[in-house]
Structure 1
């Protein structure tokens, strides 16, 4: 269960505030959650708040569950370090021993299919390569919730299929919070839906209901 209590989140512009959430109180039951919303609505910001990368100006988001770092095309890796070094660094942060670290490095290297780039600096990677590295790294750790931001869209068709199947297997033992513009993927992977729209967060017990409302907003413009 995830609980939002009087949450307000905004970004200051030159003349005004851009609100992502305004005084939002909501309890989200456990399960696989799809997050929908127009571009700029605040989907990724909400996910970063769940992962404790960003915080609301007011209110709180609480849960007894553990959350992965938010995965997306931007990564969050150290650019001057190699892929291998970044993976080792994360292992150290999470207290993995030498043998555990070795196994995680081997897994991520194999899964990401980066070849020689695995031992090259992250700053030489394309956004897709960062996404593949980050996705493989997340699969190598155990969390109650995996936070995935459009990562399934990276790579060619074969890698997309591989990523989706790997995630399906992973969430047999954990939950996922997924931001995606692919409605088919959201429908397949998630049970419930969150729609971020005009500073409000709407919860739907069925993700297909959230998708239907999202499509209405895009069609009617409100």
Structure 2
């Protein structure tokens, strides 16, 4: 469960302060939620709050259970380290068996030879696979997925989705994918962040129609500002 306790947060987004939460009191029970926002540029700071990466500016957000990092976030892997170093760090942080963890990663990724190389030299495809696969090593209670779920008809996508379903079964899931297909497949409710209000929508289809996922961009930001000018409430 995630609990907002008089939480307020208004980070600066694209040079403008936006209300992510305004004195929000809300208990979010275990379930499978799509994360929807009226402003696409608000999604990243909302994910940060829900993953516990930073506290709200006022109030607090508490968690029951172990929360994942934002799975699929591109900046997860960086620096002058190898894949083995990353696996070792995850094992130390979460008390995992090193040999088992290495074997899982080697089995899942398309070309395990890159694991021994430095992260900064990895091809983009391997960085993508490794980041997603590494997130399935710890036994999280709350899974936060920020990026797109693997959807290609290839070996990695099949293995990842199969293991993800097993790992996340009965656990809490919050998915911030920009693909409606992902949200419809994995979620049955939505968490809606709309101009300082954070609410739970039990009808996922209606929520998706009202707050369709959009990629954060200058055009999306301009569209949001135009909507805000037309409807300031």
Partner in structure 2 of residue 170 of structure 1: 167
Q: 1:110 to 1:28 in 2, by over 3 A?
A: same
Partner in structure 1 of residue 134 of structure 2: 137
Kindly state the Cα deviation for residue 139 of structure 1 after the two structures are TM-superposed.
Answer: 1.3
> In 2, distance between residues paired with 1:216 and 1:146?
19
Is structure 2 residue 154 aligned with structure 1 residue 189? no
> In 1, distance between residues paired with 2:171 and 2:146?
17
Contact 1:36–1:181 (Cα < 8 Å) also in 2: no
Task: Classify the secondary structure of the residue corresponding to 1:152.
Answer: coil
Please give the root-mean-square deviation of Cα atoms over the aligned residues, in Å: 2.9
Q: 1:63 to 1:153 in 2, by over 3 A?
A: same
For structure 1, the residue ranges without an aligned partner over 5 or more in a row are: none
Partner in structure 2 of residue 210 of structure 1: 207
Q: 1:56 to 1:179 in 2, by over 3 A?
A: same
Partner in structure 1 of residue 143 of structure 2: 146
Partner in structure 1 of residue 63 of structure 2: 63
Q: 1:8 to 1:131 in 2, by over 3 A?
A: farther
Q: Deviations over 1:112-164 (max 9, x none)?
A: 2233211111112345433321221121221111111114157x442444433
**How many aligned residue pairs are there?**
218
> In 2, distance between residues paired with 1:93 and 1:216?
33
Kindly state the Cα deviation for residue 8 of structure 1 after the two structures are TM-superposed.
Answer: 1.5
Q: TM-score, normalised by structure 1?
A: 0.84
Q: 1:22 to 1:131 in 2, by over 3 A?
A: farther
Partner in structure 2 of residue 52 of structure 1: 52
Q: 1:16 to 1:36 in 2, by over 3 A?
A: closer
> In 1, distance between residues paired with 2:89 and 2:160?
23
Partner in structure 2 of residue 33 of structure 1: 33
Is structure 2 residue 12 aligned with structure 1 residue 18? no
Contact 2:8–2:57 (Cα < 8 Å) also in 1: yes
Kindly state the Cα deviation for residue 52 of structure 1 after the two structures are TM-superposed.
Answer: 2.0
